[in-house]
Amino acid sequence: MTIRLNACLECGTDLVPGAREREFCASPCRMAWNNRRRDRGAELYDLYMAHRFERDPAKARGVFQAINRLASDFRREDRERRAGRRSWRRMDVVLEERPHLKAARYMTGKGQ
């Protein structure tokens, strides 16, 4: 599969030359992209929080396996409905926006 670098992340159409900072051809594509991420993320959020903060019951129920299965289902859907285009933001972009996530010591004490 060939991945075009200057294409809309949602519909795959070519973006205007020189608009490398743009990721979408139009507002409806940006909104569809973000709505899908929102909808998919809600399930992952609930399962991951249970995995992280309710460890024993989550382990007994196979929550981490469910998280991985959801991700695989999402990727399969991307291949079928989105011509294989990724449906997630690049990790370097997310980590650059939130440098505290890379800190060696983020949480201390209560709440862990």
Determine which helix (DSSP H) or strand (DSSP E) holds 73, and give its type and residue range: helix 63-81
Question: Is position 24 within any domain?
Answer: no
Q: Is residue 78 part of a domain?
A: yes
**Would the pLDDT of 105 be above 90?**
no
Render pLDDT for 11-28 as a digit per residue (tens, 0 to 9). 999 887 765 678 899 999
Looking at the domain assignment, is residue 12 inside a domain?
no
52 occurs within a structural domain: yes
Cα(88)–Cα(7) distance, rounded to whole angstroms? 15
The pLDDT of residue 5: 63
CA 67 – CA 4 distance, rounded (Å): 29
Q: Is 87 contained in some domain?
A: yes
Structure tokens at 34: 């973000």
| Residue 4, in any domain of the structure | no
13 in a domain, yes or no? no
**Tens digit of pLDDT for each residue in 24-73?**
999 999 999 999 999 999 999 999 999 999 999 999 999 999 999 999 99
61 inside domain: yes
What is the pLDDT at residue 32?
A: 96
Look up the domain containing 55 and give its range: 34-102
* Count of the separate structural domains present in the chain: 1
Q: What is the pLDDT of residue 86?
A: 87
